[in-house]
Chain A
Amino acid sequence: MKEHLFEYLLRLGDDSLILGHRVSEWCGHGPILEEDIALTNISLDLIGQATSLLKYAGEVEGKGRDEDQLAFLRLEHDYKNCLLVEQLNGDFGMTIMRQFLFDAYRLPLFEALIHSSDSQLAAIAEKSLKETKYHYRHSAEWVIRLGDGTEESHERIQKAVNSLFKYHVDLFFTNHVDDALLKEGIVPEMKAIHNKWMESVKNVFSEATLEIPSNNWEQSGGRLGRHSEHLGLLLAEMQYMQRAYPNMEW
């Protein structure tokens, strides 16, 4: 059970870590000052969540690895984040769509994890849920504003949907890890989370006059450590300091 919980915590923690890093790339480049600040705040929340989740993962693993070692000293295939969060920022529409598809998944997931039979995971979910509500409102409102905005904003955010939608199946990937944890009441049934996600996406897309792509392209593998080429490049930058100056601190 311990190794299953460890694996699950890596999925949650790596999602937060990798998306947090991606969003932080906007710092100083936001389209307007308020958005620059908003994105930086969201990034900080995500990295904070990653800290709690990976710290706990290290404790569960019991091999003496702390959150920093897990964040900075693993190899690419050991990261269990979903493919969606490692995708490039693109334009603001792409970043917002990636965030929305993710927030719409994280919100019901944390709502459910509050009732986890694992008290530490429940506590992290309780803390993170409050922040995720703000993130969701921010990204969903932008999706509507851009989709139901000008011709150009509509076109660009629809393009983001077309390019990112294929990664959604990866969010709801489950295997024996989930089955085992579900039996113990540690994690919720993924099917229910998927339904809630679909409901949010349909509602927001209808307000935003956006369409779900009609093709059924799917891409997954993130939870098994099979990533797109973007992750390696991200890690090269993120891990540089620890690799170049092992154990450095400031």
Chain B
Amino acid sequence: MVKESQIWNWLESVSDPEVPVLSVVDLGVVRKVEVSESGTKITITPTYSGCPAMQVIEEDIRRKLLQEGLSNLEVVTALSPAWTTDWLSENGRRKLKEYGIAPPENEVDKSLLFSKPIVVPCPNCNSKETKMVSEFGSTACKAHYQCLSCKEPFDYFKCLR
């Protein structure tokens, strides 16, 4: 029987199709790996309800583990507890920044209207002089910002709690 830790290792090489610098483990979508005599069960949880990457992620996990020789594989989706950006690993946060995406600031979502957008440092020059262009960015998980110092536009991996 394959060890659970070995499976986690394999999953480290399955990347998020939309943010390929992150593995599905960094992203925190793999919630559980269960190994038993009857097979292997992987539980994943979606980031956003409509995230088109989820189906690809499921297929990629399946493909990777089948390639490694596992059979009797089951990948199930659990909605609860709902994914939050707190599940992004430290490693994942570092990789995001290196890739040019600002990692989520751990600020509680104040659902006040016209609340001041949170300060997101520029992943390019670290300046805190940045502005939010739109709360909705290139994918469901990102907002669109611009740096006022180096003028670069950048994506912010928005906080979801």
Chain A residues engaging chain B, CB cutoff 8 angstroms: 20, 34-35, 37-38, 41-49, 51-52, 119-120, 122-124, 126-128, 130-131, 133-134, 136-138, 140-141, 144, 204, 207
A-B contact pairs, 7 of them (CB 8 A): A35-B134, A38-B136, A44-B50, A48-B49, A141-B113, A144-B114, A204-B113
Among B49, B82, B113, B114, find the residue whose CB has the most chain A CB atoms closer than 10 A.
B49
Q: Known contacts A45-B140, A122-B80; can you find 8 more A-B pairs with CB under 8 A?
A: A43-B50, A44-B140, A45-B49, A49-B49, A49-B50, A126-B81, A133-B111, A141-B114
Residues of the B chain whose Cβ atoms lie less than 8 Å from the Cβ of A49: 49-50
In the assembled complex, the Cα of A133 lies from the Cα of B46 at a distance in Å of 17
Chain B residues touching A, range: 20 to 34
How far apart are the CA atoms of A17 and B71 in the complex, in Å? 36
Q: Are B82 and A52 in contact (CB under 8 A)?
A: no
B binding-site residues for A, Cβ under 8 Å: 46, 48-52, 78-84, 109, 111, 113-114, 133-140, 144, 160-161
The interface residues of chain A, by DSSP majority, are classed as helix
Query: In the complex the two chains form, what is the Cα distance from A83 to B5 in whole Å?
Result: 52
| Interface pairs A-B: 4 shortest CB-CB | A48-B50, A48-B49, A123-B80, A38-B136
Known: A34-B144, A138-B135. A45 touches B114 (CB 8 A): no
CB proximity of A147 to chain B, nearest CB, Å: 13
Q: Which residue of B lies closest to A56 (CB)?
A: B79
Contact (Cβ within 8 A) A134 B135:
yes
